[in-house]
Every structure is written in structure tokens, then in C-alpha cells.
């Protein structure tokens, strides 16, 4: 069996072959030149483009996980479920939550749907899978890396942060995935009116963008 077919089977459904032009964002925004436009699949089985459909013009909350994780993932997922409950119907409307698997070889849309249902995830929060090389590229673009190369290779040591971004204003921050839910919500909402933000003692790892802006 060819490598492409093996990958398709691993994702649970065949993914179409992409041309170079497919990876170029068709929508223009602050991060169009930074984020790749990889084809991904949601836990509902829908095909989406990372930049065009998920990032462009949106206020987003992103974490990385994998269904078999026995460490931080279940705790962080439970915490984010509380965050979703606090934000109510804003999720999927003007604030978008995405969880990207670190094990795309195993986490098919079906497996991710079962994981989401098991943890009580409601509508508007998407779980995403894709080609392994694409997922790895996104992990690095989003800053979900450990400075220690050996630790970084072990998915069990994956960084326990949430990336929060507003592509319209190009303000991006990170906060611990297990911070108190109301503090996570506070930081999510801060991206709507950054000038009003006053940090508290919970502490968030903050940055203006996933990478330093070019001058």
C-alpha cells in the first residue's frame, strides 16, 4: 500500500491530494503569510482549511491534545469544558475553540468525536486532525514546543498551554491550560479590549504574536 493511502486510512477517510496553490490562503488577513492553509478534518468529518476557515478574521482559542493521553490532556479538556460553559453561546459564534491532535495517525475524526462526547464538549468547539507533517508544522507555528529537544520529541511532555489569538488585531497570548476557568475566560475576553486588561496573580505567558513581528 502506498504511503498516501496509509495516511488516508490513518485519518479514517481519504484526503484529497493537494496542489501548491491549495496551500495558499485565498483570504487576506494579518496572518495570511504566517499560517499555512493546510487541509484538515473536524471531529464531525468536515474538511476545513486552517487559515481560510479557522483563523482568518477570528478570535480563537487553541490547544493541542491526543485521545490516548493519560497525563495533562484530560485535566486540560475538563478545564476548557468549564471555559466553554462560562462563555455559553459565544463559542462557535464570535469566539472559536479548536483542539488539534498530536497523534493524527491514530486520532481519526471518529476517535476525536468519541473523545469530545466523552468529555462533554458542546457544539462550536472543533477537534481537528490532518496529515502528520502538517500537524507538526502547525505545532511549531503556534509555539507549542519545548526548548529541550529530547522533551519536545515525547508527546507525553507536550506543553500545557492554550494559545489565544485575535487575527483581526493580531494580538496573540498564551495561558496555562489548567489555570482557573474564570481567569482563562478573562484572558480570552481581553483580546477584545486589550487596553482594559489588568493581569492578576494567576499569571499568563503573554506575547503579541506566535513569532516576533518583522520590522
C-alpha grid cell, residue 38: 493546510
For residue 134, name the pLDDT band (cuts at 50, 70, 90): very high
Please check whether residue 107 lies inside any domain of the structure. Answer: yes
Task: Assess if residue 201 is contained within a domain.
Answer: no
Condensed to tens digits (0 to 9), the pLDDT of residues 152-194 reads 777 666 678 999 999 999 999 999 999 999 999 999 999 986 5
Residue 23 lies in a domain: no
Structural domain contains residue 4 = no
pLDDT at 15: 63
* 132, part of any domain: yes
Mean pLDDT check: name the lowest of 3-12, 23-32, 60-69, 118-127: 3-12
Is 129 among the domain residues? yes
Query: Is residue 178 situated within a structural domain?
Result: yes
Structural domains in the chain (count): 1
User: What does the pLDDT read at residue 187?
Assistant: 94
The model's pTM? 0.81
Q: Which of 57-71, 77-91, 182-196 has the lowest mean pLDDT?
A: 182-196
- Which residue range is the domain that position 189 belongs to? 58-196
Q: What is the pLDDT of residue 197?
A: 42
Q: What's 186's domain CATH number?
A: 3.40.30.10
Give the model's pLDDT for residue 193.
60
- 141 in a domain, yes or no? yes
86-114 mean pLDDT: 96
Amino acid at each position: 500500500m502506498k504511503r498516501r493511502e496509509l495516511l488516508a486510512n490513518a485519518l479514517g477517510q481519504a484526503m484529497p491530494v493537494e496542489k501548491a496553490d491549495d496551500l495558499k490562503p485565498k483570504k487576506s488577513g494579518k496572518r495570511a503569510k504566517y499560517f499555512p492553509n493546510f487541509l484538515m478534518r473536524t471531529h464531525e468529518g468536515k474538511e476545513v482549511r486552517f487559515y481560510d476557515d479557522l483563523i482568518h478574521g477570528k478570535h480563537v482559542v487553541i490547544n493541542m491534545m491526543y485521545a490516548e493521553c493519560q497525563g495533562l490532556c484530560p485535566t486540560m479538556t475538563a478545564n476548557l469544558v468549564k471555559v466553554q460553559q462560562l462563555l455559553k453561546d459565544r463559542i462557535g459564534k464570535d469566539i472559536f475553540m479548536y483542539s488539534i491532535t498530536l497523534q493524527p495517525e491514530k486520532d481519526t475524526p471518529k476517535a476525536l468525536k468519541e473523545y469530545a462526547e466523552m468529555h462533554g464538549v458542546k457544539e462550536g468547539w472543533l477537534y481537528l486532525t490532518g496529515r502528520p507533517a502538517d500537524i507538526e508544522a502547525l505545532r511549531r507555528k503556534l509555539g507549542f514546543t519545548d526548548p529541550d529537544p529530547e522533551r519536545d520529541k515525547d508527546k507525553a511532555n507536550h506543553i500545557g498551554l492554550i494559545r489565544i489569538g485575535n487575527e483581526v488585531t493580531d494580538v496573540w497570548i498564551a495561558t496555562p491550560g489548567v489555570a482557573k476557568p474564570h481567569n482563562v475566560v478573562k484572558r480570552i475576553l481581553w483580546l477584545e479590549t486589550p487596553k482594559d486588561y489588568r493581569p492578576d496573580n494567576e499569571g499568563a505567558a503573554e506575547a503579541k504574536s506566535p513569532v516576533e513581528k518583522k520590522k
